[in-house]
Amino acid sequence: MSWFCMLLLLLIVFLVEVGAECGHNGPSIRFPFGLKHDRNHIAYHGFELSCNDTHTVLELPIPSIKFFVTDIDYKAQVIKVYDPDNCLLRKLLKIRNLSSNSPFRFAQDNLSNYTLFNCSREGEGETSLYYQSIPCLSGPGYQIYVAQPNSAIDELPIDCTKLNNTSLLPYEGYDIYDTKYDHNLRLKWLEPACGHCEAKGKRCRPKNNTTMFEIDCFHFHPKGEKKKYVAVGKLSY
């Protein structure tokens, strides 16, 4: 094998194994995730990420909703996101059916029907076990509250009307949709199932780079020239 071929293969191995990231502290981006417009890090369908400055962006399609990614747990197959606009609930309300057009599900299995109420401005900022005001959904003269599943209107502070809107959202306790919990949205994916592979310290890649239906679990050697040569041997058969 010529030195040129050797170098080329080393470069390929390097790109496959190293993955990408947005900024120095961003989560490592590797299969099934990939970067839009980056042919070296091709994503599984629905797993395209992009960089906004140093932030890693996950975009859910139809309607387009953008989250910033804080962490990707490749073993648990969970991605942790938050809303850069600090109004997580507004984004969640737009998602009619997460599973119909995205590979992601709420990581939390216990979903509940949350209800929104539109209340007069008095009693502003009041919260209780049953309801939580959502300042980012409220406007001049009115305050939007999110109420616990099955809450009755008479549990709310004052003068409220129930909005014709219930949403199946992860049940995480009454105050989860306060903005200070915005870092808490966790989404999981089931396919491609690379978690078992990652748990063994290996890495996942598509068997066939045109279809990506099948995945291949391969040995991953994080550091060391010598070990990289082992990987080269594997790739070049």
Ligand X SMILES: *[C@@H]1O[C@H](CO)[C@@H](O)[C@H](O)[C@H]1NC(C)=O
Q: With binding defined as CB under 6 A, does residue 23 bind ligand X?
A: no
Q: Does 179 bind ligand X (CB under 6 A)?
A: no
Least separation in angstroms between CB 118 and ligand X: 4
| C-alpha torsion angle, residues 108, 113, 119, 125 (rounded to 10) | -20
Q: Is residue 52 part of the contact set for ligand X (CB under 6 A)?
A: yes
Using CB atoms within 10 Å of the CB of residue 2, give its burial: 0 to 12 exposed, 13 to 18 middle, 19+ buried.
exposed
Among candidate residues 26, 12, 100, 93, the one with its CA nearest the CA of residue 56:
26
Closest by alpha carbon to 165, among 116, 131, 118, 132? 116
Among 28, 54, 113, 236, binds ligand X (CB under 6 A): 113
Q: Given candidates 51, 78, 136, 163, which one binds ligand X under the rule CB under 6 A? A: 163
Select 84 or 222, whichever has its Cβ closest to ligand X. 84
Interatomic CA distance for residues 10 and 149, integer angstroms:
56
Residue 110 binds to ligand X (criterion: CB under 6 A): yes
Strand, helix or coil for residue 193: coil
Which residue among 112, 128, 179, 184 contacts ligand X (CB under 6 A)? Answer: 112
**Do 182 and 82 contact (CB within 8 A), yes or no?**
yes
Q: How far apart are CA 221 and CA 227, in angstroms?
A: 6
CB of 77 to ligand X, least distance (A): 19
The angle, 0 to 180 degrees and rounded to 10, between the axes of the packed helices 3-18 and 225-235 is 100
Which one among 118, 128, 179, 184 touches ligand X, defined by CB under 6 A?
Answer: 118
List the interface residues with ligand X, window 56-95 (CB under 6 A): 84, 93-94
| Closer by beta carbon to ligand X, 75 or else 150 | 150
Total of chain residues touching ligand X, rule CB under 6 A = 25
**Residues binding ligand X (CB under 6 A):** 52, 84, 93-94, 97, 99-100, 110-113, 118, 141-142, 149, 163-166, 168, 171, 208-211
